[in-house]
Amino acid sequence: MLDTHGRKYVQPTIEKTAKSLLKFGLSANQLTWIAFLIGSTSGLFIYFNQPVLAVVVLWFSGFLDAVDGTMARLTKPSAWGTVLDITFDRVVEISVILGLAFAFPESQWALLLLSVSIIVSMTIFLTVGAVTEKHGMKSFYYQAGLAERTEGFILFSLMILFHPYLTILTLVFFVVELYTAFQRLAEAKRLLTK
């Protein structure tokens, strides 16, 4: 929701950064790798009880993830770049979930439910993107929903910083993600059964 409706407010900063990095000689795919490597450390920082650092690297990688897409659109988007981007986004999320699961084993059951809801929601998202002929700003059809990347980062940040409430925050995220899955499924039915 925030990615879809709030992007216009941060896009000038994203675009300025993208142009600067292109002038520096960096490619979109190189930045995708950098964002992935930075974001993947968040789980380690969680595990080693560095929650603020975990949140900082998570959000910095998220910012770079937005920049790499703009860099691709300013140059030449590639299908390979799209695959890398979506795959690395999930690995960063997995890093956070694993870091939390190992650091707080009492919440593993809730984190497992969250993982399942993310898998279901992303399966719908990617399948609709693959089978629909509609395209937007991205190289595939992007289904908006209640839980997009920014909402996920906000909820992950709360889970990391307020770990005494980890189980309840994880269950809130689980419900939000399930709602998003049903939103996307309903939109898919509307789009694909005309």
Question: Which residue range forms the structural domain that includes residue 48?
Answer: 2-192
Over 80: is that where the pLDDT of 122 sits?
yes
Distance CA 62, CA 107 (A): 25
Burial zone of 100 (CB within 10 Å; 0-12 exposed, 13-18 middle, 19+ buried): buried
Mean pLDDT of the chain: 90
pTM summary value: 0.89
Query: What pLDDT shows up at residue 141?
Result: 63
pLDDT tens, residue by residue, 55-94 = 999 999 999 999 999 999 999 888 899 899 999 999 999 9
Query: What pLDDT shows up at residue 188?
Result: 84
Q: Are 172 and 152 in contact (CB under 8 A)?
A: no
Over 70: is that where the pLDDT of 137 sits?
no
Band (pLDDT 50/70/90 cuts) for residue 3 is: low
Query: What pLDDT shows up at residue 52?
Result: 98
Interval 103-131 mean pLDDT? 93
Query: What pLDDT shows up at residue 31?
Result: 96
CATH number of the domain at 57, please. Answer: 1.20.120.1760
Query: What pLDDT shows up at residue 53?
Result: 98
Domain count, the chain: 1
Band (pLDDT 50/70/90 cuts) for residue 140 is: low
Query: What pLDDT shows up at residue 135?
Result: 56
Q: How far apart, in Å, are the Cα atoms of 174 and each of 100, 129, 130?
A: 15, 22, 25
